[in-house]
A and B are shown apart, each in its own frame.
Chain A
Amino acid sequence: DAKTTQPTSMDCAEGRAANLPCNHSTISGNEYVYWYRQIHSQGPQYIIHGLKNNETNEMASLIITEDRKSSTLILPHATLRDTAVYYCIVRRNYGQNFVFGPGTRLSVLP
C-alpha cells in the first residue's frame, strides 16, 4: 500500500471549515483513499473514501487532486466534538487490513 504523509497537528476555530491535507504521491491506480478518525481512545470511525472523484457525505467532503497524489478532507463546520486524530489511509483494492499512520491531531478551538 502507498504511504501517506499528514501534518502532525492542526487547529481550527469552531464553526469554520477544517481542511486536512494528505499526500500520497506513490498511490497506484487501484488504490482508494480512506479517511478515519479516532476520538480520544475510541475505535477508529469511518468518515469517507474515494478513488478518483470528489466525494461528499453527511460528515465530510473528500477532494482528490486530478493526479491523485494528494487529497483534502473537509469538515465544513467544525465543532468541538470533531477534535480527534484523523487518519488518511491508502488501501489497495482487495487488501484486507488498514495500515494506520500517526495521523493529524485536529484541535477545534472555541
Chain B
Amino acid sequence: EPEVTQTPSHQVTQMGQEVILRCVPISNHLYFYWYRQILGQKVEFLVSFYNNEISEKSEIFDDQFSVERPDGSNFTLKIRSTKLEDSAMYFCASSLETGQETQYFGPGTRLLVL
C-alpha cells in the first residue's frame, strides 16, 4: 500500500540554524500539507500546497517557514532560523484532491532545537 515517507526521522539542531525536513508524498497525490505537534499538545495545521504554490497557511507559518516541491517527488519544509519553540513532531500529509478527500500522514520528523 502506498504511503507517505519522511526524512529524517529525528533531527537535532542548534538554535538559529536552518533545517530542511523532507517528505515524499503518495505518488499520484496532488495536495500536500505540513502539520506539527508540540510534545503533549494537539496536532496543528501549518500549510497546504497545490500546483506549486501555497493554498492555505496558518498563523504559525510565519516568514521563518517555507515550503517547496523541488522535483516531482519531494516536498520540503524549511525553517530558516530555528527557535527553541520549533521543537516538535512535524508531519507531512498528502491527498488526491481537496474537498472531502482523505489526507494520509507520514510517520513524522522529530525536531529538537537546542
Interface residues of A (CB under 8 A from B): 32, 34, 36, 38, 41-46, 49, 51, 87, 91, 93-102
Contact = CB atoms under 8 A, between A and B. Distances in A.
Contact of B100 (A45, A49, A97, A101): A49
Interface residues of B, number: 27
Given A41-B110, A44-B43, A97 B99 contact: no
A98 B56 CA distance: 12
Contacts of B75: none
B108 A99 contact: no
Contacts of A36: 105
Given A41-B108, A96-B56, A34 B43 contact: no
B96 to A, nearest CB: 12
Contacts of B108: 41-43
Interface string B72-96: 0000000000000000010101000
A42 B35 CA distance: 13
B44 interface: yes
Given A42-B107, A49-B102, 13 more contacts: A32-B100, A36-B105, A43-B107, A44-B91, A91-B100, A93-B99, A94-B100, A95-B98, A96-B31, A96-B98, A97-B33, A98-B45, A100-B43
